[in-house]
Amino acid sequence: MRNWKVFVIPTLITLVIGGIYLAIVFHNRNTPPAAQQAMDQRMSADDLAVVRMEFPQHYDDLKNLVGKSVWMKDGYVIPAFPYTNGRVDFKKPAGMLAPLQKLNIQKVVKAVTPDSVDDAMSHGSRQVFYVVTEPGNSQQLAVPVGAMEGDQEQYFSDLLFFYDDPHTIYDNWSKDVWAAVDAHQVKPGMNELQTRLSVGQKVHSDTHVEGNRTVTYTTPTKKWAVTFADDKATKISEQ
């Protein structure tokens, strides 16, 4: 029963999100041009950036990315495991993948993941992994991207990866901002998106009002507490 819920609940969430999207589209089509223009003016350049999705439904869909590169969206959330002699080595995790880490996809594989392994997603009866390499490193790593249970499949690659270089997606960011993001630093004036892509998605906040709150980011080596006002970092402390 528990495994059945693992797949049904995300499906229900997807349907709800789809319904909300259709409602927004219907609303926008029936919004007077002047009001729509005012709404568009409130959207930032980040909101208008095109972030490509693949919407994989089946195992073979994942093969479309073999031979291509992706970049991590969810930094310090998903672990990687050594992949040697055609097997995933669950006993020796290679660590959490950093935000915006570039990965070159070699192939897609399935493996039975031990119950003792916590890799931030359901195991199902089999998990599905991308076998990847990092630039300049020939070591192969296995990164979990989904799970199978009977005839049910669920994949999270759209949530985990950018399929285009983020430097081109967010080419409106200044060189100074990109220098901080690439160095995994937080600087005054950075917004929440820039901060997440710099120091990761493992966060705790004092409110759900994005852009006006204090957020704590946990990385493998330190914590950052960042206070935002009008979506700009105003106070930054390392713990």
User: Can you give the pLDDT at residue 23?
Assistant: 52
**Is residue 49 included in any domain, yes or no?**
no
Residues 138 and 84 in one domain: yes
Q: Residue 56 in contact with residue 160, Cβ under 8 Å?
A: no
Structural domain contains residue 195: yes
Which residue range is the domain that position 212 belongs to? 173-238
Residue 48 lies in a domain: no
Let me know if residue 168 belongs to a domain: no
| E strands, the chain, in order | 69-72, 79-84, 87-88, 95-96, 102-111, 126-133, 141-149, 152-155, 161-162, 203-205, 213-218, 223-229, 232-238
DSSP helix/strand/coil, 122:
coil
Give the angle subtended at the CA of 167 by the CAs of 200 and 174, to the nearest 5°: 90
Which pLDDT score, from 0 to 100, does residue 28 have? 55
- CATH number of the domain bearing residue 178: 3.30.1450
pLDDT of 138: 96
pLDDT computed for residue 43 by the predictor: 85
**What total of structural domains would you count in the chain?**
3
Same domain, 177 and 158: no
Indicate whether 18 belongs to any domain: yes
Residues 149, 188, single domain; the answer is no
Question: Of 162, 182, 208, which closes a domain?
Answer: 162
Same domain, 143 and 183: no
pLDDT value for 9: 52
Domain-embedded: residue 210: yes
Within a domain: 53: no
Q: Do both 77 and 145 map to the same domain?
A: yes
Of the three residues 133, 162, 191, the one that is the final residue of a domain is: 162
Q: Are residues 75 and 139 in the same domain?
A: yes
pLDDT (0 to 100) of residue 22: 47
DSSP state for residue 151 in the 8-state scheme: T
Q: Report mean pLDDT in 10-residue bins for the chain, 239 residues.
A: 49 50 52 49 86 97 98 94 97 95 98 95 96 97 97 96 98 98 97 97 92 95 95 95
